[in-house]
Structure 1
Amino acid sequence: MEQEQLERSWQSKLQATVYILLFVILFGWLLKIGQNFLLPVLIAIISMYILVTLTDWLGRLWILKYTPEWFRRIIVVIGFVIFTLGFSHIVIVTGEQILSAAPTYQHNLEKMVQQLGIKYGWAQDADWNSIRELTIDRINMQTVISYLITTITSFSSMVVLIIVYAMFLIAEKGRFADKLSKAFPNGRADRTKNILIDINKKIGDYLAVKTLINIILAVICFIILWIFGVEYALFWALIIGILNYIPYIGSLLGVIFPVSLALVQFGSIQITIVIAILLTIAQMYVGNVLEPKMIGKQINLSAFVVLVSLSLWSSLWGIAGAILAIPLTSIVIIILAEFQTTRPYTLLLMDNIED
């Protein structure tokens, strides 16, 4: 009898595991095929968290302290629309200018390589000529830049949808509590409301502070690029700020892109190295000093979970998935922590289980 019960228990556990795996596979497939629909919605939700938190921050200022909340929301939404449309315009216009300048960059790169070959006596070396044929001579700056700009401008096609979704979400926020109480009677509404409050608090504060940090980083990098005369400094500063949402590799990419442009623009390794060092110092200061002080432990995820979530979401949605990886993973963990059966798994994903 006990043997039969034990077998049934193992069968039920195995069956549950299979169902979970099938659900995960199906859910991942739906995320992949639904990218064009889901991305604008999720970006709008993330934007709403930032806008709502900024609205609360404005309420602490003595100038706007006594103004109604709807007035502060209007100010924040107007600023969001102006920034989003402005960013989209800068990306499109700058992308066209960079593409038109691609032949010049190609010429500067080839000239720099030729000068290095002559200076160090590599020009007549058979091995150097073979290496050059396999590397430098195969680089087409117009193709490389075109790919990067196409990837970035893909966000611009969502701008109108994101703005519309975000505005409607903010408008619906005030009535959501009443809808929740009617949709989930018998006390379930309070539990759902507590989950949403926890998500709003942790994710909203994290995104708002992270956005402020990225703005500071973008301003510092813009000053560095502007002083050295790097073309499209504002564009690259905005890209650095956006990429800094991506943990670990975002700061690396934020240095590589403008430094690569500086190399093909000036054709000078010395100037490029100085720019790279200054941008790296700015990234290190923000990442190691400013960010820990301002954000602290608002997002309690282990480093391994951050890397896995980054790989997962970026494999599904590319750069957009990498940017959204931390907020989306944090939301999933907050929801799982509210259920008794899944709570133990959330402890394995956290960095500090005492929080």
Structure 2
Amino acid sequence: MTDRHLRVHTFTDADVRAGWPLPRTVVILLGFAAATVTVAGMRAVAWLLAPVLLALVIVIAIAPVRRGLRRHGFPGWAATVVLLLLVYAVLIGFGLVVFVSVAKLVTLLPRYAARFDELVSDAVGALERAGVGADQVREVAGSLDLGKVLPYLGSLLSGVTGLLTNVVFVLTLLFFLSVESGGFGERMATLARGRSAAGTALTRFAARTRRYLVVTTLFGFIVAVLDTIALAIIAVPLALLWGLLSFVTNYIPNVGFVLGLVPPALLALLDGGWRPMVAVIGVYCLVNLVIQSLIQPYYVGDSVGLSALVTFVALVFWAWVLGPLGAILAIPVTLLVRCVLLDMDPGARWVAVLLHLSTDEP
């Protein structure tokens, strides 16, 4: 065998400049490996990443209000202070209402222990009459105990108390991000002159995120008010807490309605029986069908540029990576990832087409 057959080609700077192609399989494997490492890193720092993303989304949402105040003669620092005080007041007020309501719930549930046992006994009797095996039914019924829920509620209350630290962190992030956002317009203009694709992608991301947040917040507020009034009429305890829950779960696509429905429906069952529970389910289904399923999608339209399948997968993925806050921020974070990975790279347009993502401006 001659030296000619043993000669191995080595990569040189000239090959790199010439765009020496790697095998497509290698590129795909490297991409999956990089994505795995990135996701693992995000899960490891979710305690930091989730509040940062929340603060970023809030700053994006209130940016037009700041510009409006500037146009009306407010100095930059005054506009920032006004917006921060408003956001601080909303977040702190929301946190206090949730904390007080959860504390009341912890003290309220022990009163329903006897009622819960009675309902379980009725359900066991109905299943036995329907021909379900008595031993299996009694085994399942024995595992149902309202007292087992109380330690979890105590942990939930401790968790809500621990959120105060995160709230302070988010408020601090909001302050610094709001101060830094003052010159964001000039920086975006400079970026657009140097890298037009990146500037256009970031502008589109901010517009889509802002429109999604405005529409979702507006309809979430309407849903929360209607749910609170209906729950108060039905006489479900802690109607204000469940109204706030329906407002928050409106940001969770696909399954948010169910998450907001289950707690008040169960409490209505324990407090008043089957009829109040059916009334709660009926009201929530009516409000969800009319507002969230018919009216809200009409105004949101295709502005976010995400298909229903991508939205659902994003919900599950970001809830797994970032925790509960990831479920609420699933759409904005997905829009940010799309901006960085797809919209900034014209060569990746085929991925958007493959995933049935809108490529038009909002």
Matches within 5 A, 1:310-349: 310-335=315-340, 336-349=342-355
Shift of 1:138: 2.6
Shift of 1:235: 1.1
Aligned: 1:213 with 2:219:
yes
Work out the percentage of aligned pairs sharing the same amino acid: 22
Residues 199 and 229 of structure 1: CA distance in aligned 2, closer, same or farther (over 3 Å): same
CA distance in structure 2 between the partners assigned to 1:150 and 1:313 by the alignment: 24
Q: Which residue of 1 aligns with 2:72?
A: 66
CA distance in structure 2 between the partners assigned to 1:219 and 1:147 by the alignment: 29
Q: Is the 8 A contact 1:54 1:208 kept in 2?
A: no
CA distance in structure 2 between the partners assigned to 1:89 and 1:134 by the alignment: 38
Aligned: 1:288 with 2:293:
yes
Q: Which residue of 1 aligns with 2:33?
A: 22
Letter in 1 for 2:58: S
Q: Is the 8 A contact 2:202 2:339 kept in 1?
A: no
Q: For 1:199-223, what per-residue CA distance to the aligned partner results, in whole angstroms no more than 9, with x for missing partners?
A: 2111112112211111111111111
Residues 153 and 265 of structure 1: CA distance in aligned 2, closer, same or farther (over 3 Å): farther
Shift of 1:254: 1.0
Shift of 1:14: 2.3
Matches within 5 A, 1:191-270: 191-266=197-272, 268-270=273-275
Q: Is the 8 A contact 2:212 2:300 kept in 1?
A: yes
Q: Could you say what secondary structure the match of 2:329 adopts? A: helix
Aligned: 1:85 with 2:98:
no
Count of matched residue pairs: 340
Normalization by structure 1: what TM-score? 0.84
Q: Could you say what secondary structure the match of 1:39 adopts? A: helix
Aligned: 1:172 with 2:180:
yes
**Which ranges in structure 1 are unaligned for 5 or more consecutive residues?**
none
Shift of 1:316: 1.3
Letter in 1 for 2:352: T
Match of 2:103 among 96, 111, 132: 96
Shift of 1:237: 0.8
Q: For 1:238-262, what per-residue CA distance to the aligned partner results, in whole angstroms no more than 9, with x for missing partners?
A: 1111111111101111111211121
Q: Could you say what secondary structure the match of 2:328 adopts? A: helix
Structure 1 or 2, whichever has the larger Rg, is: 2
Q: Is the 8 A contact 2:124 2:137 kept in 1?
A: no
Residues 243 and 136 of structure 1: CA distance in aligned 2, closer, same or farther (over 3 Å): farther
Shift of 1:273: 0.5
Q: Is the 8 A contact 2:106 2:154 kept in 1?
A: yes
Q: Is the 8 A contact 2:99 2:160 kept in 1?
A: no
**Which ranges in structure 2 are unaligned for 5 or more consecutive residues?**
1-8, 10-18
Aligned: 1:163 with 2:171:
yes
CA distance in structure 1 between the partners assigned to 2:150 and 2:235 by the alignment: 22
Shift of 1:100: 1.8
CA distance in structure 1 between the partners assigned to 2:71 and 2:333 by the alignment: 32
Residues 151 and 343 of structure 1: CA distance in aligned 2, closer, same or farther (over 3 Å): farther
> Over the residues paired in the alignment, what is the CA RMSD in angstroms?
3.2
Letter in 1 for 2:194: R
Q: Which residue of 2 aligns with 1:34?
A: 45
Shift of 1:67: 4.7
Q: Which residue of 2 aligns with 1:75?
A: 82
CA distance in structure 1 between the partners assigned to 2:188 and 2:302 by the alignment: 30
Normalization by structure 2: what TM-score? 0.82
